[in-house]
């Protein structure tokens, strides 16, 4: 690297996404530790990285990231580094030639059913689940009420099964209930996709937030550097070494544990995404930020970025998302987005976690390291909690 680590830095963080950036900032600002952040990409922000294109549109390079949370601690923390643009996400789905609200709610019901039948189904939904309630699609399929069973079949076939198959590359039955349970029928007329207390977008985009988080004078950031190769893990002594010398600080790792330990127990599979960006010479492409296509096309959805942070421009930028398998050896498929949840993969990850836990100076944290899907607020909350735990013993 050209500069020594031992003796110069107290903490080395691998990865500059939310997990890494937040814990780096906490060590720097709350403990007065010298922190080195190593990021293999040429930018900070992880998959939340965004940029303003030549037409003034703020584009999310790795797909739309929409902040929402009920965690006041997370909101207050991020508010130290940004002001906010109020934004409540609404999604439409293309169903049989018309655009209808998603998640499926009572407004969707009235668009797809004759009014009298829709009223009857609404009464049954409220009777069984309460107004304002939610029921998972797979749970609704188990109902014994004929009209609700009919509704469940429609939602399953028109909204769920084909989208899920495209997203995960397998049938819903092969996917963990922890994933499928995330798809609800909402028993209200609220078209919002999220119902959290805090919903907004950083007024200058996410990248500016990361730059401010990492701007503390105790933090050094090195981009385009894969930090994994710097460290050796001596299992016989449970020590971490750099150039045969024991590492004196603490290592925070936010990447993939299987990569950190040379894939010794085999690779952990992920789903990846391919993004097809297009800038069009028109003010607007679609009525909402995101339109899902469960049953048409190979892509799953189209996002138009001008709806997120509005800008006056005669051009607009959209992106189509194509789910695909992750392949670390293929540059077009080597970004891991979603862990593939099943019992075998969880067992494999647990083997890596047990190995990592042998090294007291190593802390692994985040979506990749924990092999667990985190929303942005979950990642930030987890980083804040982890910092409080390990700063007391450092």
Question: How far is residue 7's CA from residue 249's CA, in Å, rounded to a whole number?
Answer: 8
Do 141 and 156 contact (CB within 8 A), yes or no? yes
Measuring CA to CA, which residue among 62, 69, 64 is closest to residue 47?
Answer: 62
Measuring CA to CA, which residue among 284, 335, 276, 326 is closest to residue 302?
Answer: 276
User: Tens digit of pLDDT for each residue in 165-174?
Assistant: 999 888 767 7
Instruction: List 223's β-bridge partners, or say none.
Output: 39
Give mean pLDDT, residues 104-120: 98
Q: What is the pLDDT of residue 1?
A: 45
Length of the chain counted residue by residue: 394
CA distance to 60, 143, 276, 319, per residue, from 285 (Å): 17, 39, 15, 11
Burial 149-164 (b: 16+ CB within 10 A, else e): eebbebbbebbbbbbb
Evaluate if residue 180 carries a pLDDT over 70. Answer: no
Question: How far is residue 309's CA from residue 307's CA, in Å, rounded to a whole number?
Answer: 6
Could you tell me the pLDDT band of residue 244, with boundaries at 50, 70 and 90? confident
Q: What is the pLDDT of residue 185?
A: 94
Give mean pLDDT, residues 310-331: 97
Evaluate if residue 2 carries a pLDDT over 50. Answer: no
3-state secondary structure of 371: coil
Could you tell me the pLDDT band of residue 181, with boundaries at 50, 70 and 90? low
Could you tell me the pLDDT band of residue 125, with boundaries at 50, 70 and 90? very high
CATH of domain 11-44+214-268+340-391: 3.40.50.720
Q: What is the pLDDT of residue 277?
A: 98
What is the percent of the chain where pLDDT is above 90?
A: 88
Do 184 and 137 contact (CB within 8 A), yes or no? yes
* Tokens (6 digits) for 363: 């802390």
Burial 255-266 (b: 16+ CB within 10 A, else e): bbbbbbbeeebe
Question: How far is residue 261's CA from residue 250's CA, in Å, rounded to a whole number?
Answer: 17
User: Tens digit of pLDDT for each residue in 261-319?
Assistant: 999 999 999 999 999 999 999 999 999 999 999 999 999 999 999 999 999 999 999 99
User: Tens digit of pLDDT for each residue in 348-359?
Assistant: 999 999 999 999
Evaluate if residue 54 carries a pLDDT over 70. Answer: yes
The pTM assigned to this predicted structure is 0.94
Domain ranges for the chain, please list them.
11-44+214-268+340-391, 102-186
Cis preceding linkage at 349, omega within 30: no
Instruction: List 101's β-bridge partners, or say none.
Output: 92
Q: What is the pLDDT of residue 323?
A: 97
């Amino acid at each position: 690297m050209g500069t020594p680590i031992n003796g110069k830095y107290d903490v080395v963080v691998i990865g500059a996404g939310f997990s890494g950036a937040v814990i780096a900032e906490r060590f720097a600002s709350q403990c007065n530790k010298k922190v080195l952040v190593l990021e293999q990409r040429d930018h900070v922000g992880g998959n939340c990285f965004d940029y303003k294109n030549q037409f003034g549109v703020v584009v999310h390079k790795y797909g739309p990231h929409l902040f929402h949370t009920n965690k006041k601690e997370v909101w207050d923390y991020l508010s130290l580094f940004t002001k906010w643009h109020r934004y409540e996400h609404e999604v439409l789905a293309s169903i049989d030639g018309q655009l209808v609200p998603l998640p499926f709610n009572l407004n969707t019901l009235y668009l797809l059913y004759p009014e009298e039948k829709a009223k009857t189904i609404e009464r049954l939904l409220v009777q069984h689940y309460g107004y304002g309630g939610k029921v998972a699609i797979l749970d609704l399929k188990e109902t014994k009420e004929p009209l609700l069973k009919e509704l469940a079949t429609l939602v399953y076939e028109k909204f769920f099964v084909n989208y899920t198959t495209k997203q995960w590359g397998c049938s819903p039955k092969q996917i963990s209930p922890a994933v499928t349970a995330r798809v609800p029928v909402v028993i209200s007329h609220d078209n919002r996709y999220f119902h959290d207390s805090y919903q907004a977008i950083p007024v200058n985009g996410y990248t500016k937030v990361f730059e401010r988080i990492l701007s503390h004078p105790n933090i050094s950031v090195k981009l385009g550097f894969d930090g994994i190769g710097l460290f050796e893990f001596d299992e016989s002594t449970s020590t971490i070494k750099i150039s045969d010398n024991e590492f004196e600080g603490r290592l925070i790792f936010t990447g993939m544990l299987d990569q950190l330990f040379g894939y010794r127990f085999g690779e952990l599979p992920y789903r990846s995404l391919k993004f097809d960006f297009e800038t069009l010479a028109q003010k607007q492409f679609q009525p909402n930020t995101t339109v899902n296509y469960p049953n048409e096309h190979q892509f799953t959805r189209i996002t138009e970025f001008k709806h997120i942070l509005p800008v006056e421009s005669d051009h607009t930028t959209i992106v189509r998302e194509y789910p695909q398998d992750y392949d670390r050896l293929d540059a077009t498929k080597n970004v891991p987005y979603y862990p593939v949840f099943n019992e075998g993969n969880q067992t494999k990850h647990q083997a890596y976690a047990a190995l990592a836990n042998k090294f007291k100076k190593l802390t692994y944290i985040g979506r990749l390291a924990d092999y667990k899907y985190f929303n942005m607020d979950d990642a930030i909350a987890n980083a804040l909690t982890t910092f409080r735990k390990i700063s007391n013993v450092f």
